[in-house]
Amino acid sequence: MQNSVLHAFFLGRALAEVLSERLEESLTCALSELGKFDAEQREYLRKLVEEVQARAAQEFDQGSGTIMTTEGPMTTDALQETLDKLRADIASLKVELKNYRQDPG
């Protein structure tokens, strides 16, 4: 009887060691794959950013300062002119609003 208890003890101990080694191996593989995936995603994102920047620079160079709007291409001079007109409109609206608020009638 004592022999079977001793045998069961060593059997349980060996099982625990094997399970521990397998668990450690599985965890190491999982962490390795996670690190590999993270590195691949960072590399993909870096390449994506580089491609976007390269295309933007290329389009800017080809357009020689032309900006695409919903109405079509617009040069930076035309854009500045539009902004100036909008600022003037805002200023005149502020004056009218001020006069309206001050008008007693």
Residue 66: Cβ within 10 Å count: 16
Question: In the chain, where are the structural domains located?
Answer: 1-64, 66-105
First to last CA, the chain: 113
Render 63-79 in DSSP notation, one character per residue. HTSEEEETTEEEEHHHH
Instruction: Answer yes or no: is pLDDT of 65 > 90.
Output: no
pLDDT in tens, 16-64: 999 999 999 999 999 999 999 999 999 999 999 999 988 888 877 776 6
Q: Which residue has the higher pLDDT, 45 or 71?
A: 45
Task: Give the predicted TM-score (pTM) of the model.
Answer: 0.46
DSSP state of 105: -
33 and 26 Cβ atoms separated by less than 8 Å: no
Could you say which DSSP state residue 103 is in? -
Distance CA 89, CA 85 (A): 6
Q: 10 pLDDT band (50/70/90 cuts)? A: very high
Residue percentage of the chain with pLDDT more than 90:
55
H-only helix segments in the chain: 2-63, 76-102
Tokens of 36: 């590999």
